[in-house]
Structure 1
């Protein structure tokens, strides 16, 4: 059946279709095809949404955000979706996981792999030692509405060199807090007086696995051991929620973070790759 391509802003029904398609692709490929950022923007007018249908069935979805693109699609819809956005100055596209159906298409079209994001995992089947924090430092949970601005400032400082994470806005934070998985009890903050020094935001997936969603420390708080202290407390929280294992993502060129996590028993499990289109070389 021939595909029809349409640009539209998804309504509630289409958003449900996109999420169902993403789940089907994940079951087949082993990794979610769409990031949390993309899922949080399914109803946004600030990004472009392109869908492919085979009759009444949704065969593919692509979201274009600036120069970034993500795709969840049946195999025969991948090429048409790429063609549909080819004139929109697409530069960077992610494939998620080692079995992503996108990889063969990207390679066939001559795209270049430019960045790796490693997924690490470890079991939560043993007691987690909790290291002490520095004098005067308190670890508490995030309070929505009260801590938003201070956390956004800390996040920007901790990830100043990170293209995606360091540019979060209140809208990005609000979108995550609106997700069904958000749990303020799993969003840990380290502070001294009225100053936030670090944080560990955890997530529990529908299958019960936990995630180190974001872990960050202020540049001027480096050397206090907060990374390890917050990591351990977050893992302990996930363990208390019954998570059998925990996963996280770390850039391939972030050697310091890789050492921290591997010291805590994490091992490499999967890999996401960011590709650059031929036209942008």
Structure 2
């Protein structure tokens, strides 16, 4: 089995991958591909772009397996009915000639076995932490020298991208976001600028922090996510994150949510301690594997 490698997908291939990912999620109880990987499906091939590569295993019955390489990171999925036939191993081998690490969402036993068979080691844990939605949050208090407003589409993109790059300079995914990535998310059904909070310096108007809230699902079953909280390195210690979090909790309390969640690096002990004090518990971990 030799995967087809391409820099862009046809609309039919994009849809086939989405159907494949949905079938795998239903079988495994966890998403097979990350949000960014799904957003990358319809990226056109363009000079200076993200440099995404797609690896496809197709048969007359449909899409048997798919892998994507983005920035050296690999994600892959195999159709439930086509597993245990060596397809996943062959696809992983091909993908790792292009990439360096592979993500396993939920770190399921099958993913662990595949990693062991290729002598890959665990190099990164990304925790998903969840909590009950707040019912009586504290009112966001005034903070000296700071003000909070919501994001304005068409005006704040460049300033936010600059802030995000500074706040996540050492983060391998979040720090890479471009204006095109932001605008792609603005086009998603869940995007709501009214829950995209920006903290500014009262005197200069400089953007010091942002907290992006993502809410998906129907009322009563919706999930609220602290999607991205970033603070300018020079504004650390001014209470920017605390102020923005208070606004997010007030927004969560105003919606009929089933739960709230966030992602945090498994080695970020101080942040995990803070989130646990706020009522969050570890629900699962997405794990990254790499060759020794």
Fold-level similarity (TM above 0.5): yes
2:145–2:201 CA contact under 8 A, matched in 1: yes
Greater displacement, 52-61 / 267-276: 52-61
- In the TM superposition, what are the counterparts of 1:139-150 in structure 2 within 5 Å? 139-150=148-159
1:56-115 deviation line (CA, Å, top 9, x unaligned): 311211111231111122234312311333433x21111111436422211222111011
Unmatched runs of 5 consecutive residues or more in structure 1: none
Report the CA distance between 1:126 and its aligned residue.
2.4
Structure 1 residue aligned with 2:138: 129
Unmatched runs of 5 consecutive residues or more in structure 2: 46-50
Q: Structure 2 residue aligned with 1:6, among 4, 17, 26?
A: 4
Greater displacement, 3-12 / 215-224: 3-12
Report the CA distance between 1:125 and its aligned residue.
5.1
1:2-24 deviation line (CA, Å, top 9, x unaligned): x6632232222222221222222
Take 1:65 and 1:119, find their aligned partners in 2: how far apart are those partners? Answer: 22
Structure 2 residue aligned with 1:43: 42
Structure 2 residue aligned with 1:203: 214
- TM-score, length basis structure 1: 0.90
Take 1:255 and 1:213, find their aligned partners in 2: how far apart are those partners? Answer: 19
Take 2:199 and 2:109, find their aligned partners in 1: how far apart are those partners? Answer: 37
User: Number of aligned pairs?
Assistant: 275
Greater displacement, 191-200 / 203-212: 203-212
1:96–1:272 CA contact under 8 A, matched in 2: yes
Structure 1 residue aligned with 2:251: 237
Matched, 1:93 2:102: yes
Structure 2 residue aligned with 1:116: 125
2:17–2:66 CA contact under 8 A, matched in 1: yes
Structure 1 residue aligned with 2:26: 27
Q: Which runs of 4+ in 1 moved over 6 A?
A: none
- In the TM superposition, what are the counterparts of 1:218-233 in structure 2 within 5 Å? 218-233=232-247
Query: SS state of the match for residue 135, structure 1?
Result: coil
- TM-score, length basis structure 2: 0.87
